[in-house]
Amino acid sequence: MNSINPIADLPMGFGMALAQDYNSMQYFASLSPDEQRAIIDQTHSINSRDEMQLFVQSITNQQHDL
């Protein structure tokens, strides 16, 4: 199990979108490293800022598959 380094491992667009959504940021921070990794892995297929913002909003709505 690899631990997540928040600075090195977060894709820039994901980190920026999280910073703009306090609830999602708090939820993401509360997850286990494996759950965080699963979410980060999903971000690699996101191609636009708008998609990333929608994805980040969905984190607190539990609309992602871990």
Q: What is the pLDDT of residue 2?
A: 60
Residue 37: Cβ within 10 Å count: 17
- Mean pLDDT value of segment 12-39: 92
pTM here?
0.78
Domain ranges for the chain: 12-62
Phi first, then psi, for residue 63 (nearest 5°) are -95, 10
Query: Positive or negative, the Cα torsion across 60, 18, 32, 36?
Result: positive
Q: Which of 18-22, 27-31, 50-54, 61-65 has the lowest mean pLDDT?
A: 61-65
In this predicted structure, the answer to whether residue 43 has a pLDDT above a threshold of 60 is yes
**pLDDT bracket for residue 60 (50, 70, 90):** confident
